[in-house]
Amino acid sequence: MGIETSCDETSAAVVANGKIVKSNVIFSQIDTHQRFGGVVPEIASRKHVEKITLVVEQAMAEAKINFRDLQAIAVTHGPGLAGALLVGVSVAKAMAYALKIPLLGVNHLVGHIYANFLAHPDLKPPLVCLVVSGGHTSLLYLEDHQTRRVLGSTRDDAAGEAFDKIARTLKLGYPGGPQIEKIALEGDASAIPFPRAWLEEGSLDFSFSGLKSAVINFVHNAKERGEPVHKASIAASFQAAVIDVLVEKTILAARRASVETVILAGGVAANNHLRTRMTGRATESGMRVLYPPPVLCTDNAAMIACAGHFQYLRREFAGLDLNAVPDLALV
């Protein structure tokens, strides 16, 4: 069983052999946080407490198994919101203790990466992975299941965070990524030449704060001058600026690492424009791009169970002293 409560999704899943999703119940708190324009940590923790038992029970019922059939419990123990993480960690520890089965502490971002191994069971390292979520943007080299190297990271905002902030500026609602993607379909991506932060020659790091300020200033100036704000073209031009940088740096990283496979992970990997552009550029370079279906891109417990399965094979078990680590590092 996998359990995920790091942010605003309460999720439990049953996965067989790290491959077959028997159930993947996701209770999203979006409705609760929407009116605040973002996740309110204290409210998130309370909602997790309210829902976790129901979500676990539903995951068991949908998988049509008994608690005694579970072989291990994998839980996200970081990074994420401290109070939110603690709910999942406490439930997982109680279950592991009561059922006398191993406990596995999973890094949330490793979970996002493993959504790809769940979606593509034949996938094998070495590969380059672009992790793009609400809180993180990193390029990684996975030599094998145990060896990971960070090739580049964001120096300021994460890609998803930039989507969310621009959506707020354009009053499109929360979470911003899907809203920007939707409205961008009606806009002209070449309408406004927003800046692309390539950083130093050959750098695999990212920076989105300059782009964010450029978009906010553009909207502000248009309003000051009493000009209409073309939300769709602003969204499309912003999205193109983010994706250009994500795609070019990922392809450069894959070329340097001499890998044939690129995978996408995290909430922003659900973006169709990113998927299509990355696939096009990779194909030109003789590489293939894989990504999970949208439901496995955003937060879910099946990906945590899958990552936990690979830790189980390596016998990387956690003790009952497992704690939430809000700033848990990726490597």
| Residue 214, both tokens | 């450029």
Span interacting with ligand KG4, options 87-95, 116-124, 171-179, 317-325, rule CB under 6 A? 171-179
Q: Which two tokens stand for residue 142?
A: 């996975």
Q: Which is nearer to ligand KG4, 18 or 111 (CB)?
A: 111
271 binds Zn ion, rule: CB under 5 A: no
The C-alpha angle with vertex 266 and arms to 246 and 200, in degrees rounded to 5, equals 25
Structure tokens at 58: 């539903």
Query: Looking only at residues 128 through 147 of this chain, which bind ligand KG4 when binding is defined by CB under 6 A?
Result: 133-135
Q: Which of residues 145-174 bind Zn ion (CB under 5 A)?
A: none
Q: Scanning the structure block, which residue is given the tokens 């491959």?
A: 19
For 173: left if phi > 0, alpha if psi spans -120 to 50, otherwise beta; the answer is: left
Rank residues 117 and 163 by Cβ distance to ligand KG4 and give the closer one: 163
| Region of 70-78, 85-93, 192-200, 263-271 interacting with ligand KG4 (CB under 6 A) | 263-271
**Binding flag, residue 154, ligand KG4 (CB under 6 A):** no
* Choice from 4, 157, 205, 299 touching ligand KG4 (CB under 6 A): 299
Q: Looking at 92-198, which runs of residues are DSSP E strands?
A: 103-107, 127-132, 137-142, 148-153
CB under 5 to 8 A by kind: which of ligand KG4, Zn ion, none does 177 bind?
ligand KG4
Q: Which stretch binds ligand KG4 (CB under 6 A): 37-45, 49-57, 58-66, 262-270?
A: 262-270
Q: How far is the CB of 128 from ligand KG4 (least distance, A)?
A: 19
Cβ 25 vs Cβ 13: under 8 Å: yes
Residue 111 near residue 304 (C-beta atoms within 8 A) = yes
Amino acid 244 reads D
Pairing mode, strands 2-4 and 20-28: unpaired
Hunting for tokens 């940590």 — which residue is that?
Answer: 41
Assess 8 for contact with Zn ion (CB under 5 A): no
Would you count residue 299 as binding Zn ion (CB under 5 A)? yes
133 lies in the binding site for Zn ion (CB under 5 A): yes
Looking at 113-121, 190-198, 232-240, 298-306, which segment touches Zn ion (CB under 5 A)?
298-306
- Burial class of residue 308 in the structure, from the number of CB atoms within 10 Å of its CB (0-12 exposed, 13-18 middle, 19+ buried): buried
Counting contacts by CB under 6 A, is residue 78 touching ligand KG4? no
Question: Given the complex with ligand KG4, which of 16 and 295 has the nearer CB atom?
Answer: 295
Exposed/middle/buried for 47, CB within 10 Å: 0-12, 13-18, 19+?
Answer: buried
**Residue 268 within binding range of ligand KG4, rule CB under 6 A:** yes
Binding interface with ligand KG4 (CB under 6 A): 7, 112, 133-135, 160, 163-164, 175-178, 181, 266-268, 270-271, 298-299
